[in-house]
Amino acid sequence: MRSLTRAEAAERADLLSVDSYEIDLDLTRDGGFRSTTTIRFRASRPDAGTFVEIKPTTLIAATLNGAPLAPAIVDGNRLPLPALAARNALTVEAEMAYSNTGEGLHRFVDPADGETYLYAMSFLDQAQRIFACFDQPDLKAPVTLSVTAPPGWLVAANGAVATMDGGRHTFVTTRPLATYFVSLIAGPYHARYDEHDGIPIGLYCRRSLAAHLDKEAAELFTVTRQCLDRFHELFGVRYPFGRYDQAFVPEFNAGAMENPGLVALRDDFVFRSAVTEGQREQRAVTIAHEMAHMWFGDLVTMRWWDDLWLNESFAEYLGVRVTAEATRFGGAWTTFAMRRKSTGYIADQRPSTHPVAPEHVPDTAHALLNFDGISYAKGASVLRQLVAWLGDEPVLAGLRAHFEAHRFGNATLADLLAALTKASGRDLTDWADAWLRTAQVNTLRLAPVIVDGRYETVHVVQSAPPSHPALRPHRVGIGLYDAGALRQRVDVDVAGASTAVPALAGVPAADLLLLNDGDLTFAKVRLDAGSAAALPRVLPVLTDPLARALLWAATVDAVRDNELPVADLVALLVTALPAETEAVVVADVLKMSRDLLDRYFDAGQRAAALEHVAQTCGRLLSTAAPGGSLQLAAARGWIGATFDTAGLAGWLDAAGVPDGLIVDADLRWAIRYRQAVLGAIGAAEIEAELATDRSAMGQEWAARCVAARPDPNTKAEAWRLVISDTTRSNRIVGAYAEGFWQPEQADLTESYVERYFSEMPAAARRRTAWVAETVAALAYPRYAVAAATREAAAALLARDDLEPSVRRAVTDADDGLRRALAARSPA
């Protein structure tokens, strides 16, 4: 599908104003669906020409101002529109295809009961797979949707239902929407309804998940109500799109999508098994994040994708903030520091790094690549720093003025900066250049000089990589910790290469100094020598969970950068993790550490390290409260690290299971997955497990297990599915790719390393850009830590015919291997 360029979008926006879309979809046909769209629009230059996007299987008819257009003139996904009038009416009728990629109109048959479900995902430029449109964010227009569906189906969309007659559903005309927000669901969905502050709210899921949604509905409605109230307080602008429905849909690519009036979320959030409080918090943050988009993105939409930060950075920041302020998940900033910011730090150090607000995104294919840890986590961190600098009220006043000025329209970085500058009285030009227009991350270190047990001097030393030498202003806290308690905190405005901290001169030296205490800036932090030496003693008794999260994250990052041996991380895990009380910290430390252990150690060292991890998780299991989040996090950690196949089998038979731990469907699959990796089960056991769990999630787990088995024939079939099978859904292909490579199976999969680099380019061209990037990343030979792997990657990246998605995935994965090779090399 041809990508729209920034230049083309600007030219078309200069020419056109869109007045309305009337979309009629017939979902009762076999094999596909019928789409009929009438677009009414104006042209500033009559007799000029343009094009409309549509990706049909068959273009049946098109008329422009009553004159027919020959279907044969469709050029890929573009229908030329010649000789425009001042006012125009375009009608396009086409046969369209359902997708199995989570884009366009996705069709899913539930393996649990055979029911069919549809949902529309128009992001980023996939609306054209559903209806004819000018598929760019700054040509917004009201949408009137009509849908003909099989009798008995529930149909919901961006607007409320206006009329319903049998299978015919007509929805009220929406406020002006960007095309990538147009959405609907259709099928035998289960629904729950409520109302809050005059706003109707609804929840939808598949019938096979109905009982699980009913159990979760009270919490989902509560979080939704709390977030709505808090956003109204913050912005002074009421939710502007009528209904607020949330649809939990199958095989969704993203975590969620902010369609006005009908937010879509992956139905993994309808929990069917035991979950940790961290997972519940993640769901709450996702709900708040998507709700933030109702103002940042939906009410005021970016003009082009180079201002993506206006959407995602604000939604990320506000999602965490509102969750922490308005819901029971008051520790959301701790999770952000531990989990989300690490994705930003990693992304910002890769060769593919980019500014938070790049000055030029050439086309939609490249825009998709910027939905990463930089646009989300780094952008949110930058905004948190801005609020700390300007103050909350000036920032909120600027945002309210921004909403008022651009209500139901589009805006740019310059527009928002102007509003914030006026509200705060501060010129933000230098701030924007430093934080939004330059890439990469700074490193901050403390340099204390201690004489007779007191600080003589303390400096904050800032550095930047040679490739991106910018030094930024930072507002940071310095925490002085003695044993487990915070004795004092000093706030410092850091500028340049070295900043003195006179407030600490003469102060008794602390056991540990924590730079960026409170986590207000986006910077890598390194401990001074004294604090690093005290860390194994202080970390287990530290009472502040945010401080512990920051120290764990800094340690993992130092190991990732090869500034600290990975063996030191294992030692700290053994010493400090059994004392950890926050399940989210345990889960994230284990996850981040595991990636390093799997790749930074050779096979023998890795096995010994995993034994230490398994024993550490066992100690946590022995002390964790029965049935709690900490116990579940420790159990998952033990399952993933252990080589005790007898113990794994025993848990499946309820033997040796810790009191209070429920070995439910998802935990059983985690055990089966580890058994598959270790060669302890075969196809029969996987099929038997699937027979007890004929669900969509069960199918994904089974695919992951099959691909993980150390069997040559199984590996060959799994590879074929990943590379060439387009009949399987996005999530199933991803599960096969995820399970294929295992550190324990390096010899078995060695021949597939070269095959990845020779076969992935063609494989990516068979798939949509989003799925191609996902598969290219998951299927990368990430455990083939060898110079030959990097040489093959370099040869692939030298080609000029790579899809942007594959180039990005390989570039990033190769950088990870570079670090792993350095860790394994003698000093």
Question: What CATH number is attached to the domain comprising 81?
Answer: 2.60.40.1730
pLDDT at 825: 87
What's the structural domain count of the chain?
Answer: 1
Beta bridge partners of 40: 20, 89
pLDDT at 730: 93
Q: What is the pLDDT averaged over residues 131-147? A: 98
- φ, ψ of residue 255 in degrees (nearest 5): -70, -40
Question: 2 in a domain, yes or no?
Answer: yes
Over residues 774-787, the pLDDT tens digits come to: 999 999 999 999 99
Question: 132 in a domain, yes or no?
Answer: yes
pLDDT at 434: 95
CA distance 295 to 237: 9
Proportion of the chain above pLDDT 70, given as a percent: 100
Q: What is the pLDDT averaged over residues 402-429? A: 96
Question: 86 in a domain, yes or no?
Answer: yes
Examine the pLDDT at 54 and tell me if it is beyond 70. yes
CA distance 287 to 196: 16
Q: How high is the mean pLDDT of the chain? A: 96
Examine the pLDDT at 653 and tell me if it is beyond 80. yes
Question: 522 in a domain, yes or no?
Answer: no
H-helix or E-strand containing 772? Answer: helix 769-778
Q: What is the pLDDT averaged over residues 50-54? A: 98
Confidence grade of residue 1 (pLDDT, cut at 50, 70, 90): confident
Over residues 343-393, the pLDDT tens digits come to: 999 999 999 999 999 999 999 999 999 999 999 999 999 999 999 999 999
Question: 471 in a domain, yes or no?
Answer: no
Structural domain that includes position 154 = 1-96+117-185
Over residues 151-208, the pLDDT tens digits come to: 999 999 999 999 999 899 999 999 999 999 999 999 999 999 999 999 999 999 999 9
Over residues 55-81, the pLDDT tens digits come to: 999 999 999 999 999 988 899 999 999
Q: What is the dihedral of CA 473, 475, 476, 477, to 10 degrees?
A: 150
Model-level pTM? Answer: 0.97
Examine the pLDDT at 562 and tell me if it is beyond 90. yes
pLDDT at 827: 60
Q: Which residues are catalytic?
A: 290
Over residues 787-819, the pLDDT tens digits come to: 999 999 999 999 999 999 999 999 999 999 999
Question: 76 in a domain, yes or no?
Answer: yes
Question: 20 in a domain, yes or no?
Answer: yes
Question: 63 in a domain, yes or no?
Answer: yes
CA distance 300 to 302: 7
- φ, ψ of residue 536 in degrees (nearest 5): -60, -25
Over residues 679-711, the pLDDT tens digits come to: 999 999 999 999 999 999 999 999 999 999 999
Examine the pLDDT at 826 and tell me if it is beyond 90. no
Give which of 745, 746, 817 is closest to 788, Cα–Cα.
Answer: 817
Tokens at residue 431, please? 């701030």
